[in-house]
């Protein structure tokens, strides 16, 4: 099928080559909506230069009529806005290491299902492969393009979109502009930037980013199976207090964020290093957002180990260790009240 491999295969140039990461500290994540300056970004191969020719998107594979969507045609589709927690799964070379790379933003674009409907998806299609225009080397392997795949059910989900704006701003080159895939509820790696081609397939993509990288090894009953890094596992962070930063004695309002692909049912907080846990107040989810939790505790002067752990609506619990979403843990020093008699004598 010639139509499937034309156009999108022509390599676009790169503005910059190589891995890049911008990541503000967890302490910066104070507001429900994360401002763009505090929003992490990551690119593996470099930043694609999309300026040389007008943007277009090919849709091919198991479709009734292979199609090319122009920018003008994309803009004619109904606008979709969604607030979603956006989390990087961390380095695909060290998948167990927590990096706490997350934010909560509003994406604007058009429904992926509406775009797929233009080409008409054939019943045997089970996966949507997405291709980014970036090319280069990662993990010693040369990639002619970035490629991911999504189960067809998620691709048709009302939340999944082709985004052109973040927090009301057009997508910058680093963010994958002018248009990228956004898969709320799935790890960031699935949200292909500089989107140029969609392909409907019966099988998973054979690419390095879908077979070798971004597959968790799950051991059960003496056997190992690979689980694609798709849905976000429950995760939570404390943002009201920072590790090793002293606080004044009194009631501590311990607050933070919790999120998971299917939403959070409960967050527990420990103020004694994990010996005892109390259920925190939890705000409701907006779209696919993260959820604020809060627990008040009157802590005596001294050192205290603060931890939080989230349980997802599907029952999955944030694990203590050995995972990208392992418990978040800090130590704070509660300082005694200043001595009043001494103050008065001054
Ligand atoms: N084309 C392309 N898309 C990509 C990537 C990439 O390197 N190339 N990185 C992925 C990863 S691992 C993440 S976490 C998100 C990050 O999106 P952001 O930089 O806008 O936060 O983009 C994803 N999409
Ligand atoms: Mo990522």
* Distance of alpha carbon 218 from the chain centroid: 21
Residue 310 bridge partners (DSSP)? 267
pLDDT at 344 over 90: no
Q: Beta-strand (E) ranges in 210-280? A: 215-220, 223-228, 235-238, 247-248, 250-259, 264-270, 278-279
Residue with CA closest to ligand 1 atom 6: 43
Ligand closest to Cα of 89 equals 2
210 in helix, strand or coil?
helix
CATH topology of domain 235-341: Immunoglobulin-like (2.60.40)
Cα-to-centroid distance, 187 and ligand 2 (Å)? 7
State the average pLDDT over residues 20-45. Answer: 97
- Ligand 1 pocket by C-beta < 6 Å: which residues? 40-45, 86, 88, 132, 134, 146, 175-176, 188-189, 191-194
Over the stretch 126-142, which tens digit does the pLDDT of each residue have? Answer: 999 999 999 999 989 99
Cα-to-centroid distance, 44 and ligand 2 (Å)? 9
Pick the CATH number of 4-228 from 3.90.420.10, 3.30.470.10, 3.30.750.200, 1.25.40.10: 3.90.420.10
Protein residues placing their CB within 5 Å of the ion ligand 2 = 88, 188-189
Contacts of 59 (CB under 8 A, 6+ apart): 66, 67, 68, 69, 115, 116, 118, 119, 197, 198, 199, 200
CA–CA distances in Å: residue 266 to residues 143, 252, 276, 320, 343? 41, 20, 16, 16, 44
User: Which tokens go with 270?
Assistant: 């420990």
Cα separation, 15 vs 13, whole angstroms: 7
In the chain, what are the domain boundaries?
4-228, 235-341
pLDDT band at 345 (very low <50, low <70, confident <90, very high): very low
State the average pLDDT over residues 266-285. Answer: 98
CB 260 within 8 A of CB 232: yes
Over the stretch 83-96, which tens digit does the pLDDT of each residue have? Answer: 999 999 999 999 99
């Amino acid at each position: 099928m010639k139509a499937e491999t034309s156009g999108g295969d022509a390599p676009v140039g790169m503005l910059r080559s190589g891995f890049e990461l911008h990541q503000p500290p967890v302490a910066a994540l104070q507001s429900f909506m994360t401002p763009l300056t505090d929003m992490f970004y990551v690119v593996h191969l470099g930043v694609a230069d999309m300026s040389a020719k007008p943007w277009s998107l090919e849709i091919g594979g198991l479709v009734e009529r292979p199609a090319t969507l122009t920018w003008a045609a994309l803009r004619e589709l109904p606008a979709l806005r969604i607030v979603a927690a956006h989390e990087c799964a961390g380095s695909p070379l060290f998948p167990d290491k927590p990096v706490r790379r997350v934010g909560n933003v509003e994406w604007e674009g058009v429904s992926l299902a509406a775009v797929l409907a233009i080409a008409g998806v054939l019943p045997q299609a089970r996966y949507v492969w997405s291709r980014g225009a970036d090319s280069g080397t990662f993990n010693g392997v040369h990639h002619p393009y970035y490629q991911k795949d999504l189960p067809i059910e998620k691709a048709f989900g009302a939340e999944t979109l082709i985004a052109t704006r973040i927090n009301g701003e057009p997508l910058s080159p680093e963010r994958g502009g002018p248009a990228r895939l956004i898969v709320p509820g799935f790890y960031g790696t699935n949200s292909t930037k500089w989107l140029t081609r969609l392909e409907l397939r019966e099988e998973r993509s054979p690419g390095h980013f879908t077979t070798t990288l971004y597959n968790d090894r799950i051991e059960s009953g003496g056997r190992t199976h690979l689980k694609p890094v798709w849905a976000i596992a429950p995760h939570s962070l404390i943002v009201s207090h920072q590790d090793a930063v002293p606080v004044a004695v009194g009631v501590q309002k311990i607050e933070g964020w919790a999120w998971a692909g299917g939403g959070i049912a409960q967050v527990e907080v420990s103020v004694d290093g994990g010996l005892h846990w109390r259920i925190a107040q939890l705000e409701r989810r907006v779209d696919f957002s993260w959820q604020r939790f809060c627990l008040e505790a009157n802590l005596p002067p001294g050192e205290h180990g603060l931890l939080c752990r989230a349980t997802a609506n599907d029952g999955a619990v944030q694990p203590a260790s050995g995972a990208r979403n392992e418990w978040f843990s800090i130590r704070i020093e509660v300082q005694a009240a200043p001595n009043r008699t001494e103050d008065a004598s001054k």
